[in-house]
Amino acid sequence: MHIGTARTGLFNWLFARRHGGKMLFRIEDTDRARHSEEAVAAIVNGLHWLGLDWDGDIISQYGRSDRHAEIAHELVQAGKAYYCYCTPEELEQMREDAKKEGRITFYDRRWRESTLTPPEGVKPVVRIKAPMSGDRVVFDKVQGEVRVQSEQLDDFIILRADGTPTYMLAVVVDDHDMGVTHVIRGDDHLNNTFRQNVIYEAMGWDIPAYAHLPLILGPDGAKLSKRHGATSVEEYRDMGYLPEAMRNYLLRLGWSHGDDEIIDTEQALQWFDLEGIGQSASRFDFDKLNHVNAHYMKLADNQRLTDLVCDLYKIRNIEVDELGRSRLMSRMDELKSRAKNLVQLADDAEFFVKSIPYDFDEKAQAQLNEDGKYIVKVIRDNLSELSSFTAPELEVLCKSVADYHREGKLGKVMMPLRAAITGRSSSPSLVHAMEVLGQSEVLARIDFALSKTF
């Protein structure tokens, strides 16, 4: 599920919920060659993760093909559409001629009013009779008044030769039958709107209100793609972003309410309107996303964060027992205040849930050289004699060792000690982490680190 699709889903959801309407979910799967159940599952899972629900069952457009064909033949009977018997060779010649003459459309409408006898053995397509003169106008809620000349619209196909509907026909019939009043979608569909309105008018149906959303661009102004980083909702979930943060960020990606940046979902449901959507494309800004996510990390419930982090550990094949969970919970306020996302939080806290033997990153190994091990050994001898293993007592001890052995430079004590206990060169407050781990665990970890040769 592309991030642009996710934003479109969010805008539809907010608009429907604010106005007491319904958000409908339809899979437009008439092109069976391109249909993928995995893609459908990704969309469903993406919406679930974002916390966006819909009304009624998911509708398969393919399952309504008979209804679409019925409308196509009804249009033929009404003289609003016609059977076209052009062969592939004839159509190719028309394309070549149009290319030479610089025409946008290529079909010459030869069967539009033809009285010729249809050739044998050729299965016809059904084409709509598009207007041939004047301007076509769409009054868009975002783009404003948009005009094209009728000459730019051809008599497009609404029913293929095999009897299957095209997207243009199917989407109009389904929108009408499902009672759709507002269509909020990407502006890459704006050209389709002019063609779809031809079908609405031919059937005498009410045309819905349209709101076409500008594209989402990468930070460099080019169309958002893999080279910019993650482009799908699932990737952002796996990168450790919270759904409420993604909702907030996607909301502000093309929609504004004054200078407000942090807008929670409850507030968005009160404020969201189509008038706040900008006409210009939006640039995806990862720094802003991280800022927004960090805000929601700080607000998140500690138990929920613990559960989410433990889910990440399962993916890393790290089993978390009750002791590990309690350690995480006890330091979650600090952990979440440091983290931009769940992955960073999990990295920072991993030493709480690991047991001996554990690995040491390269920077930690560098700290545990001969000099580093010496100072860790000094601290270990003092730690074993402590009767009170609390953060304040541990801080006093570490400062005392720094004053006596490292000219008061506390970093030269804490850095190798951190490397020994956590296996990492960075961590949350070390003395508080040591208090949580407990005296026997800390001593065991130090002994393990001192026994290692790097």
Query: Three-state SS string across 60-124, please?
Result: ECHHHHHHHHHHHHHHHHCCCEEEECCCHHHHHHHHHHHHHHCCCCCCCCCCCCCCCCCCCCCCC
421 and 449 Cβ atoms separated by less than 8 Å: yes
DSSP string, 127-179: EE----SSEEEEEETTTEEEEEEGGG----EEE-TTSPBPHHHHHHHHHHHTT
Q: What is the pLDDT of residue 397?
A: 96
Q: What is the pLDDT of residue 227?
A: 74
Residue showing tokens 């609390």 = 390
Q: What is the pLDDT of residue 288?
A: 95
What does each of the 454 residues of the chain score in pLDDT, given as a tens digit?
A: 889 999 999 999 999 999 999 999 999 988 888 888 998 999 999 999 999 999 999 999 999 999 999 999 999 999 999 999 998 889 999 999 988 888 888 899 999 998 888 888 889 999 999 999 889 999 999 999 999 998 888 999 999 999 999 999 999 999 999 999 999 999 999 999 999 999 999 999 999 999 999 999 988 888 887 777 667 899 999 999 999 999 999 999 999 999 999 999 999 999 999 999 999 999 999 999 999 999 999 999 999 999 999 999 999 999 999 999 999 999 999 999 999 999 999 999 999 999 999 999 999 999 999 999 999 999 999 999 999 999 999 999 999 999 999 999 999 999 999 999 999 999 999 999 999 999 999 999 999 999 999 8
Dihedral sign for Cα 162, 166, 172, 178, please. positive
Q: Is the pTM of this model over 0.75?
A: yes
9 and 26 Cβ atoms separated by less than 8 Å: no
Nearest to 415 by CA among 402, 404, 397, 396: 402
Name the active-site residue from 22, 99, 123, 226: 226
Tokens of 75: 């249009």
Residues near 206 by beta carbon (within 8 Å), at least 6 away in sequence:
176, 200
Residue showing tokens 């995995």 = 38
Q: What is the pLDDT of residue 447?
A: 97
Q: What is the DSSP letter of 331?
A: T
Rg (Cα) of the chain, in Å, rounded?
A: 32
Query: Three-state SS string across 192-260, please?
Result: HHHHHHHHHHHHCCCCCEEEEECCEECCCCCECCHHHCCCEHHHHHHCCCCHHHHHHHHHHCCECCCCC
Q: What is the pLDDT of residue 117?
A: 87
Maximum alpha-carbon separation in the chain: 106
Tokens of 212: 């076409």
Nearest to 158 by CA among 124, 193, 126: 126
Q: Is 226 a catalytic residue?
A: yes
Q: What is the pLDDT of residue 102?
A: 83
439 and 379 Cβ atoms separated by less than 8 Å: no
- Give the relative orientation of helices 391-405 and 430-437 as an angle to the nearest 10 degrees: 130
